[in-house]
């Protein structure tokens, strides 16, 4: 198996991506930050930039005041839906038991 971690890495990468995928449509920066709380602005920005570079996420800036920036997954990003959903289901089912292991 190749290093999946090299493709989607970082503490918040999976939560962000999964949130973007399940949200369906475009989602604003602030809305995304609330959804993936307690992530910091810096980290959210960093991850989103990385996703953009990899073609997983698209960024749209609306020239309004105040500025509105929206993010949405690309077709490529959507192909992660099944794998991430499987992971999410697993985490939901076993997180209680695994949490004690620190």
The residues binding DNA (CB under 7 A) are 9-12, 28-31, 38-43, 45, 48-49, 59, 66-70
Contact set for a copy of itself, span 18-47 (CB under 8 A): 18-19
Three-state DSSP class for 44?
Answer: helix
Binding residue count for a copy of itself, defined by CB under 8 A:
39
Task: Choose the one of DNA, a copy of itself, none that binds residue 66, judging by a C-beta under 5 to 8 angstroms depending on kind.
Answer: DNA
Contact 6, 49 (CB under 8 A): no
Q: Rank residues 45 and 82 by Cβ distance to a copy of itself and give the closer one.
A: 82
Cα distance between residue 60 and residue 72, in whole Å: 9
Which positions ≥6 away from 58 have C-beta within 8 Å?
52, 71, 72, 73, 74
Among positions 7, 28, 60, 62, the unique one binding a copy of itself when judged by CB under 8 A: 7
Q: Which does 60 bind (CB under 5 to 8 A by kind): DNA, a copy of itself, none?
A: none
* Strand-pair partners of 71: 27, 59
């Amino acid at each position: 198996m190749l290093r999946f971690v090299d493709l989607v890495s970082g503490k918040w990468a999976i939560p962000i991506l999964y949130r973007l995928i399940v949200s369906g449509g475009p989602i604003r920066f602030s809305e995304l930050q609330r959804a993936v709380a307690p992530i910091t602005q810096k980290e959210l920005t960093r991850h989103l930039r990385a996703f953009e570079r990899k073609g997983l996420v698209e960024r749209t800036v609306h020239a309004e005041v105040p500025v509105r920036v929206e993010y949405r997954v690309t077709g490529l990003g959507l192909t992660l839906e099944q794998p991430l959903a499987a992971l999410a289901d697993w985490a939901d089912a076993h997180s209680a038991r695994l949490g004690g292991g620190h």
